[in-house]
Copies of this chain bind each other. A is one copy, B any other.
Amino acid sequence: MNRRSSKDSRQNIIDAAQRVFLLHGYEGSTMRMIAEQAGISVGGIYLYFKNKEELCLLLIDERLKEFSEKIDAALKKIEDPIDALREYILLSIEYAKKHNEFIITQSREKGFTFGIDIKREFFKRQKEVIKGIIFKGINKGIFVNCNIEEATRVIMGVIRGFVLSLVVDPDNLFDARQCSELILSGLLSRSN
A residues in contact (CB < 8 Å) with B: 24-25, 27-28, 101, 103-104, 106-112, 116, 119-120, 123, 127, 150, 153-154, 156-165, 167-169, 172-175, 178-179, 182-183, 185-187, 191-192
Contacts and interface: CB of A to CB of B under 8 A. Distances in A.
Contact of A175 (B111, B150, B159, B183): B150
Contact of A185 (B104, B127, B157, B192): B192
B150 A178 contact: yes
B168 A153 contact: no
Copies in the complex: 2
Given A24-B109, A182-B182, A174 B161 contact: no
A128 to B, nearest CB: 12
Contacts of A27: 27, 106-109
Nearest to A111: B25
B159 A109 contact: no
Contacts of A158: 157-158, 161
A16 to B, nearest CB: 18
B156 A172 contact: yes
A90 to B, nearest CB: 15
A172 B28 contact: no
B164 A160 contact: yes
Nearest to A184: B186
Contacts of A127: 172
A160 B168 contact: yes
Contacts of A109: 24-25, 27-28, 106
A120 B162 CA distance: 16
Contacts of A175: 150, 153
The 5 A-B residue pairs whose C-beta atoms are closest, nearest first, are A186-B186, A161-B161, A25-B108, A28-B109, A157-B161
27 contacts: A24-B111, A27-B107, A27-B108, A28-B107, A103-B164, A104-B164, A106-B106, A107-B167, A123-B172, A127-B172, A153-B165, A153-B173, A154-B174, A154-B179, A154-B182, A156-B172, A157-B158, A157-B165, A160-B169, A161-B164, A163-B164, A164-B164, A182-B182, A182-B183, A182-B187, A185-B192, A192-B192
